[in-house]
Chain A
Amino acid sequence: MTSPDRRTLLMAGAGTAASLLQPELLAARKPLRAPVRIGLVGVGRQGRAMLAELGKFEEVTVVAYCDTDERRLSSAARRARGAQGHPDAASMLAAHPDIDAVLVATPTHLHRQPCEEALAAGKHVYCEAPLAHSVTDARAIAAAAASSGKVFQTGLQGRANPVYGLARSFVRSGAIRDMVTMRAQTNEKNSWQTPASDPARSKALNWRLDSEVTLGLPGEVGAQQFDVFHWFRGDYPVKVEAEGGVLAWRDGRTVADTVHARLTFKDGAALDWSATLGNSYEGTHEVMMGTMGAVKLAWSHGWLFKEADAPTQGWEVYANRQQFHNDEGITLIAEATKLASQGKLKEGVGLPNRPLWYALDDFFKAVTEGDAVPCSAEEGLRATAVAIKVQESLLAGEPLAITEADLASK
């Protein structure tokens, strides 16, 4: 978990004014105690996003990168000026023994090998989520991380996101009281097809639509969202029932472009999750509803909606509010009291960095200062196992139980 004193983050409870980072504090961000030399595995879509965020860390240098796709290697040469490209992680690690940490941004089913190779070479590892496409691979990665003695962080970004950290402190201190129901969605309009004229390259680049290796929507977008609920609640679902199909892109694919799933927790509360590639309405968000209020999270922003009979807190006089049809949300804002006193409350709305930046910042602090990572390999394994169960339920067309053994590392 992210330590509270590393950010001007936490609040004592729901009766205290919200306190979160503000842009000025980030601008004066404390430099890392030591430089970090990075090897980046995978320079496709996510690798490019990582390079964009890495450029904001003055103490971090990308010294090498690798990818099996020659065009992407060529493109990365422009993006990672001064770094050397390699065809695979093994040759990159062999050529650059001075690498401190490896970031793994390959397709999900290709995470295991570079993770194991990097850990075996004594490198710290940040691996994108989900950890793997199979429980076997995810367990192998977690085992390698555990025995390495190195920092390993799973890229479940909600756990590193300051808005989510603030919202979690509200929820866990009772602001919405008893959680009765949950929902989440990822809606986008995108065929998920990656262009490639060569059939072999097309198969490699379109791995998300390859039924032999993909975890589909539950894995590629659901895992991040399911884990938000795991982290807020402190437990994992015990049952899942999923259904879906190809409703938007009838181009011969077999991987569902629209999925609905219900994940039920031990106390009977259920998360209704849906994802579609056919419509972008309301995008990506998560909602938790309790007997005294609801929290809505949308990665860069968050809101608290109070029930009419919820007690009024003194700090609410400062609150910035936003209307959603018939509901009024209190914006979860950084250092709300301080900003309000300066007449700058609205400047605190929204995060000043991408969620990925916060995840990487936490990783680098873990590497250089020994801080705990926000999401360990074990937590990554459990979240991955849940996503795999959702996909299995979708494919089987029947509900499945999720047991302790399913989430265990052995």
Chain B
Amino acid sequence: MPLRLACPAMGTRFELVLAGQREEHLRAAGEAALEEVRTLHGLWNAFAKDSLVAHLARLAGSGAWTRVDPETFELLELSRSVHAASEGAFHPLLAPLLESLGLRGEAGPDPEAATLDVEGLELDGDRQAVRLARAGMGLDLGGIAKGAALDAAAAILEEEDVRCALLHGGTSTVLALEPPPGRSSWRVVVGSQPGAPVLELARSAMSVSAARARVGTPEAGAHAHVLDPRTGQGVESGRPAAVVRGASAALCDAWSTALVAGAAPALLPNDLDALLQEPDGSWSASAAPTPLCS
């Protein structure tokens, strides 16, 4: 029987399914992996006042640098690169926009455009330090953090020689190591509708994003789950959902967000492939070197 472990983090439930010979070792490795997820949650949680993200926001515009852990630094580097590659459809600095829309408590004033300028996310690679250049800036890593946490958790499992595992964060981002004995892959069904795509995962990850509605304050009105950073508006039409598969769960997470936010499929890096849902509910594959689903 595979061993299942889980913990709440990042507003959802992370779960590990582990298979192997010694349950005691599997449990210890799995707990270490979940501890890493919780640690990263503590650093990246935009809703917690004592998180690293909140600390950086408080110091925004002060000129002060904060030395950060390598996981955070690499995540911020990745966020900047996906922002550039997606031509702005993925954006790591949406906190002031989300606040203005009432998605972080009471609705606030419209953010100044300069607070959304990604150039203001300053990274010093020599010192592994970060600062936000202007007051009012704030990170929101909700479009990439779950994937990055899964990558980190998987790295710990592999360090501890756990080879056969499936990890997911809230079922929307999934990372597979080796498949169960006797199988060629882990099979993941996207959604519950008849004809839903089934993905075959082995040593790969996938993430799905959907533009379903979520609600802010009554004053701010309802907003989509995903914002288009280029307009500041919720994504309500066009592409209801996108699935991205690749080696890195963080990249899959970020690019599925970007595609739902309106990124052109042609911008997708060659080592990722995608399934895009059409407004009528049907799915189409992006141009991809390998077929995405069975």
Please give, as numbers and ranges, the residues of chain B lying within 8 Å of A45 by CB-CB distance.
Answer: 35
Q: Does A94 contact B (CB under 8 A)?
A: no
How far is it, in angstroms, between the C-alpha of A26 and the C-alpha of B70 when the chains are bound? Answer: 25
A81 touches B128 (CB 8 A): yes
Q: Taking the nearest CB of chain B, how far is it from the CB of A355, in angstroms? A: 9
Please give, as numbers and ranges, the residues of chain A lying within 8 Å of B28 by CB-CB distance.
Answer: 191, 193-196
A352 touches B25 (CB 8 A): no
A190 touches B31 (CB 8 A): yes
Q: Does A52 contact B (CB under 8 A)?
A: yes
Q: Does B77 contact A (CB under 8 A)?
A: no
* Among listed B46-54, B94-102, B205-213, B275-283, interface-contacting one: B46-54
Which secondary structure dominates where chain A touches chain B?
loop
Q: Does A78 contact B (CB under 8 A)?
A: yes
Q: Does A27 contact B (CB under 8 A)?
A: yes
A300 touches B62 (CB 8 A): no
Please judge, given known A-B contacts A51-B69, A190-B31, A197-B161, whether A56 and B24 are in contact too, CB under 8 Å.
no
A197 touches B50 (CB 8 A): no
Please give, as numbers and ranges, the residues of chain B lying within 8 Å of A24 by CB-CB distance.
Answer: 58
A58 touches B29 (CB 8 A): no
Please give, as numbers and ranges, the residues of chain A lying within 8 Å of B29 by CB-CB distance.
Answer: 195
Q: Taking the nearest CB of chain A, how far is it from the CB of B69, in angstroms? A: 6
Most buried by B among A24, A26, A81, A191: A81
How far is it, in angstroms, between the C-alpha of A82 and the C-alpha of B125 when the chains are bound? Answer: 12
Please give, as numbers and ranges, the residues of chain B lying within 8 Å of A82 by CB-CB distance.
Answer: 127
Please judge, given known A-B contacts A52-B43, A78-B70, whether A251 and B24 are in contact too, CB under 8 Å.
yes
Q: Does A354 contact B (CB under 8 A)?
A: yes
How far is it, in angstroms, between the C-alpha of A61 and the C-alpha of B58 when the chains are bound? Answer: 21
How far is it, in angstroms, between the C-alpha of A353 and the C-alpha of B161 when the chains are bound? Answer: 35
B49 touches A58 (CB 8 A): no
Q: Give the contacts of A52-97 with B (CB-CB under 8 A).
A: 52, 54-56, 58, 78-79, 81-82
Q: Give the contacts of A209-260 with B (CB-CB under 8 A).
A: 251
How far is it, in angstroms, between the C-alpha of A52 and the C-alpha of B128 when the chains are bound? Answer: 12
A193 touches B27 (CB 8 A): yes
Q: Does A351 contact B (CB under 8 A)?
A: yes
B50 touches A79 (CB 8 A): no
Q: Taking the nearest CB of chain B, how far is it from the CB of A188, in angstroms? A: 11
Assign chain A's interface to a size class: 20 to 34
Please judge, given known A-B contacts A79-B70, A350-B49, A350-B50, whether A193 and B31 are in contact too, CB under 8 Å.
yes
B68 touches A55 (CB 8 A): yes
A26 touches B49 (CB 8 A): no
Please give, as numbers and ranges, the residues of chain B lying within 8 Å of A196 by CB-CB distance.
Answer: 28
How far is it, in angstroms, between the C-alpha of A211 and the C-alpha of B67 when the chains are bound? Answer: 38
Q: Does A149 contact B (CB under 8 A)?
A: no
How far is it, in angstroms, between the C-alpha of A51 and the C-alpha of B39 when the chains are bound? Answer: 13
Q: Does A23 contact B (CB under 8 A)?
A: yes
Q: Taking the nearest CB of chain A, how far is it from the CB of B115, in angstroms? A: 16
How far is it, in angstroms, between the C-alpha of A191 and the C-alpha of B160 when the chains are bound? Answer: 16
A52 touches B69 (CB 8 A): yes
Q: Taking the nearest CB of chain A, how far is it from the CB of B160, in angstroms? A: 4
In the complex, what residue of chain A is closest to B125 when comparing beta carbons?
A81
Q: Taking the nearest CB of chain A, how far is it from the CB of B267, in angstroms? A: 31
How far is it, in angstroms, between the C-alpha of A57 and the C-alpha of B95 when the chains are bound? Answer: 24
Most buried by A among B52, B67, B69, B70: B67
Q: Which residues of chain B have a CB within 8 Å of any CB of chain A?
A: 24-25, 27-29, 31-32, 35, 39, 43, 48-50, 52, 54-55, 58-59, 62, 64-70, 105, 126-129, 160-161
Could you pull out 15 A-B pairs where Cβ atoms are within 8 angstroms?
A27-B62, A48-B69, A51-B69, A55-B67, A56-B66, A58-B64, A82-B127, A190-B31, A191-B28, A195-B32, A196-B28, A300-B50, A351-B50, A352-B58, A354-B50
10 closest A-B pairs by CB? A55-B67, A193-B28, A195-B28, A27-B58, A195-B29, A195-B160, A78-B70, A81-B128, A352-B49, A350-B49
